Amino acid sequence: AQSVTQLDSQVPVFEEAPVELRCNYSSSVSVYLFWYVQYPNQGLQLLLKYLSGSTLVKGINGFEAEFNKSQTSFHLRKPSVHISDTAEYFCAVSDRGGGSEKLVFGKGTKLTVNP
């Protein structure tokens, strides 16, 4: 079974500072990896995804993530955050092979950007 660990439940940062949100996964098979963002009272929106190819993935709103197979990590980064980036961020994993296609989520990281 797959699982996702988001190591930080809350991350406060100042505007224009860099940020890294950490994600580690556990799986016995090859996986696809995703980062989603959830703004208050809304559903989840995709930020970026890793399916194959380059391990550095760029997404919307200036976010990027790097897939590290040896460390089973998929950390999310942004070099300079804005107030509008305040939201909850979820890392997710799904089976790449012929098994279940269900998407398993981490518990989320609340990013708060302060002026």
Partner 1 sequence: DAGVIQSPRHEVTEMGQEVTLRCKPISGHNSLFWYRQTMMRGLELLIYFNNNVPIDDSGMPEDRFSAKMPNASFSTLKIQPSEPRDSAVYFCASTPGRRTEAFFGQGTRLTVV
Q: Which residues bind partner 1 (CB under 8 A)?
A: 32, 34, 36, 42-46, 49, 51, 90, 94, 96, 100-108
- In angstroms, give the least distance from the CB of 98 to partner 1: 9
- In angstroms, give the least distance from the CB of 96 to partner 1: 8
Instruction: Tell me the CA distances in angstroms from 39 to 1, 68, 71, 86, 91, one per residue in order.
Output: 29, 27, 29, 8, 15
Distance, CA of 8 to CA of 108 (rounded, Å): 8
- In angstroms, give the least distance from the CB of 69 to partner 1: 18
Q: What six digits make up the tokens of 77?
A: 């980064």
Question: Closest Cα to residue 43, out of 2, 107, 87, 99?
Answer: 87
- In angstroms, give the least distance from the CB of 15 to partner 1: 27
